[in-house]
Amino acid sequence: MTYPLIRHDTYTFKAPATAIELKGFVENGVTYESHTFHVDFGKPGYLGLVDATIYVRHGGGWESMPVRHMIATALRSLLDAGVSRAAFFLCFELFEQVRNAYGAGSGATAREYQKAFVEGRLKKRKRPGLDTAKVWIEPEAGGFATRKVSVSMKPAIATESHPS
């Protein structure tokens, strides 16, 4: 499962100049000062609908997430109404929900594959003439669902990555 948020280089990345900045603050004894969001609204597309990209800088570096027109419209409405804290909280919660969903999904998938391996239901077959393998989980006795995945047999190319 691919991490859903886009990570950017901590040292060289900057949010687009057109982005609206939402700085962190302290409220009710809780500090949100470690996060700064930037909302960059795109150009109108089909039917005049506008998507956006939300960027966040925090202790772990920069991340971004594209959002569709419904979220972009909600953010634009909050910002136009001068409720930047509500826009900040919406951005904060969107990133939290994406991270939580990713964690739950990858954890559930890992447990599913581990259980299938232990039970001998994880199967694989090399595809003749191709550098891929077909990997699947046979259903449990009385079960119906089967998950099939193609896996490349070529070694992954190491790339330099910067921690973010």
User: Strand pairing partners for 26?
Assistant: 31
**For residues 135 and 149, what is the distance between their CA atoms, to the nearest angstrom?**
5
Walk along the chain (164 residues) and give the pLDDT tens digit of each residue: 567 788 888 888 999 999 999 999 999 999 999 999 999 998 888 888 899 999 999 988 999 999 999 999 999 999 999 999 999 999 999 999 998 988 888 888 889 989 989 999 999 999 888 888 888 899 887 666 555 665 555 554 444 444 44
At 60, list the tokens. Answer: 């772990």
Nearest alpha carbon to residue 57 among 17, 92, 28? 92
Domain boundaries, the chain: 6-112, 119-152
C-alpha distance from residue 163 to each of 11, 58, 61, 106 (Å) = 10, 13, 8, 21
**For residues 124 and 139, what is the distance between their CA atoms, to the nearest angstrom?**
14
- The CA-CA-CA angle for residues 20, 23, 26, to 5°, reads 155
User: Strand pairing partners for 122?
Assistant: 137
Residue 159's pLDDT is 40
Q: Which secondary structure element, helix H or strand E, spans residue 84, and what is its range?
A: helix 84-118
Residue 151's pLDDT is 58
What is the CA 121 to chain-centroid distance, rounded? 30
